[in-house]
Amino acid sequence: MDNMKVLTNGFIKENPVFILVLGMCPTLAVTSSVVNSLGMGLSTTFVLICSNIIVAMIKGFTPAKIRIPVFIVVIATFVTIVDMTMGAFMPALHKSLGLFIPLIVVNCVILGRAEAFASKNNVLSSTLDGISMGLGFTLALSLIGAIREVLGAGTLLGFAVLPKAYIESPMLVAILAPGAFITVGFLMAIINMMKKEK
């Protein structure tokens, strides 16, 4: 496997959200603002890199039969580490991501990559794969978060970007649940369109 290729795969060609359609729950649930998107994306990236490294390291002496439970324990450990450290150092973000931090465990991106990539490749390319997939995931989440925050609140990263009149009565639906589905739906359609033109 060409390492450079592994590193760039996750951004567009195999973007976990738009192309592989993995990890939809956090994608839709926490993207009501860019800050939340970034927090979720980076936490997932951290867990993804760490679990990929450990899985690639222990794949030699883990019997195939108990592979999945061992992977799950590894992932759950890192998720709990993120949960604790975020609670101690970033309490505000911890509060707004809430239930979705422990739920990183069942984010299909992580178990999917452990099973499909890290259990078959060496430590270095597994690390790169974790970085690539994680950042691709973060990128997708931030894009969705940016669109929803601008439309739904008239702000970006908390700063006003649209006229005051808009901020006072914005298109609220964009930060509510339906807006999440519709935004992601249109983004996927746009990506499909771009792929076809190539």
Partner 1 sequence: MEFLAKMMVMAVGAIFVQNFVLARFLGLCPYLGVSKKLDSAFGMGMAVIFVMTMASAITYLIQVYLLIPYGLGYLQTIAFILTIATLVQFVEMVIQKNSPSLYKSLGVFLPLITTNCAVLGVAILNTTAKWADGTPYNFLDAVLNGFFSGVGFTLVLVLMAGMRERLEYANLPKSMKGMPIALIVAGAMALAFLGFSGLKM
Partner 2 sequence: MKYYIKLGLILLAVCALATGILAYLNSVTAPMIAEVKRVEAENARKEVMPDATDFVKKTMVDSSEVDTDLYFIAVNEAKEPIGYILTVALNGYSGVVKTVVGLKNDFSINKIKVIEQTETPGLGAKASTPAFAEKFVGMTLPQLMVKKDGGDIISITGATITTRTVTNSINAGIKRLEEVLKVEVTNG
- Give the whole-angstrom CA distance, residue 185 versus residue 135: 21
Among residues 13, 21, 85, 157, which is the contact residue for partner 2, using CB under 8 A? Answer: 85
**153 contributes a contact to partner 2 by CB under 8 A:** yes
Alpha helices for 114-159 (secondary structure H): 123-153
**120 contributes a contact to partner 1 by CB under 8 A:** no
**102 contributes a contact to partner 1 by CB under 8 A:** yes
**155 contributes a contact to partner 2 by CB under 8 A:** no
Among residues 7, 12, 24, 53, which is the contact residue for partner 1, using CB under 8 A? Answer: 24
Helix axes 123-153, 177-197, angle to 10 degrees: 120
Neighbours of 150 (CB within 10 A): 18
Closest alpha carbon to 39 in 50, 52, 53, 29: 29
- Give the whole-angstrom CA distance, residue 33 versus residue 30: 8
Among residues 4, 64, 99, 165, which is the contact residue for partner 1, using CB under 8 A? Answer: 99
- Give the whole-angstrom CA distance, residue 150 versus residue 155: 5
Among residues 5, 13, 21, 120, which is the contact residue for partner 1, using CB under 8 A? Answer: 21
Interface of this chain with partner 1, residues 170 to 189, rule: CB under 8 A: 173, 176-182, 184-186, 188-189
Neighbours of 8 (CB within 10 A): 14
**47 contributes a contact to partner 1 by CB under 8 A:** no
**32 contributes a contact to partner 2 by CB under 8 A:** yes
DSSP type of residue 33: S
**190 contributes a contact to partner 1 by CB under 8 A:** yes
Tell me which residues touch partner 2 (CB under 8 A): 32, 62-63, 65-66, 69-70, 73-74, 76-77, 80-81, 84-85, 87-89, 91, 152-153, 170, 172, 175-176
